A and B are shown apart, each in its own frame.
Chain A
Amino acid sequence: MILDMAFKNLIRQGMRSLLNVLVTALIIIAIIFALSLLNGFQAQALRNMSTTDVAGGHYRVPGFDILTPTEWEDLTLPVPQALRHLPHSEKAEVLVQQGQLFPNRRLFPVQLRGINIDQSLLDLPLHTLKNGRMEIGETIPVVLGKQMAKKAHLTVGDTVVLKWRDKFGAVDALDVRVMDVAPMINPRIDEGVVWMRLDHLRQITQRAGEVTWVAVKRPVGPVAGFEFQTVENLMADLLTLLKHDRRNTRILWFFLIALAGISVFNTQILNVFKRQKEIGTLMALGMTSKKIIRLFSLEGILTALMAIVAAAVLGVPFFIWFQGVGFDISHLSETGFPVREKIFLDIKMAEVVYSTLVTVGIMVLMSWLPVRKVARLEPTQALRGRAIT
Chain B
Amino acid sequence: MLKIQNVSKVYRVGGQDFIALHNINLEIEDGAFMSFVGPSGSGKTTLLNLIGGLDSPTSGEVVFNGFHLNEMSRDQLAVLRRENIGFIFQSYNLLPVYSVYENILFPLLLNKQKESQVRDKVMALVEKVGLSAEANKKPAELSGGQCQRVAIARALVKDPLLVLADEPTANLDVENSHHILEMMRTLNQETQAAFIFSTHDEKVTRFVNREVALEDGYVKSDKVKQPNGELI
Contact = CB atoms under 8 A, between A and B. Distances in A.
Contacts of B94: 281
A8 interface: yes
B107 A285 contact: yes
A284 B97 contact: no
Interface in B148-172: 154
Contacts of B54: 283-284, 379-380, 383
Interface secondary structure of A, over-half rule: helix
A262 B154 CA distance: 37
Nearest to B151: A281
Given A286-B78, A288-B75, A277 B93 contact: yes
Interface string A346-389: 00000000000000000000000000000000111001000000
Interface in B188-206: none
Given A285-B107, A288-B75, A289-B74, A379 B55 contact: yes
Contact of A383 (B93, B98, B112): B93
Interface string A1-15: 100000011001100
B49 interface: yes
Contact of B79 (A12, A13, A281, A286): A286
A288 B77 CA distance: 9
B87 A284 contact: yes
Interface in A289-303: 289-290
B225 to A, nearest CB: 29
Contacts of B95: 278, 281-282
B215 interface: no
A287 B97 contact: no
B97 A13 contact: yes
Interface range on chain B (Cβ under 8 Å from partner): 20 to 34
A285 B55 CA distance: 14
B83 interface: yes
Nearest to B81: A286
Contact of B82 (A280, A285, A290, A379): A285
Given A285-B110, A286-B81, A280 B97 contact: no
Contacts of B154: 285
Interface in A183-236: none
Nearest to A280: B93
Interface residues of A, number: 22
B93 A287 contact: no
Contacts of B75: 288-290
Given A287-B78, A383-B54, A12 B97 contact: yes
Nearest to A289: B74
Nearest to A281: B93
B151 to A, nearest CB: 10
B55 A287 contact: no
10 contacts: A1-B109, A8-B97, A280-B93, A281-B93, A286-B80, A286-B83, A288-B78, A289-B75, A379-B49, A380-B54
Given A285-B87, A289-B75, 4 more contacts: A8-B102, A283-B78, A286-B107, A288-B74
Interface of B: 49, 52, 54-55, 74-75, 78-83, 85, 87, 89, 91, 93-98, 102, 106-107, 109-112, 154
Interface of A: 1, 8-9, 12-13, 277-278, 280-290, 378-380, 383
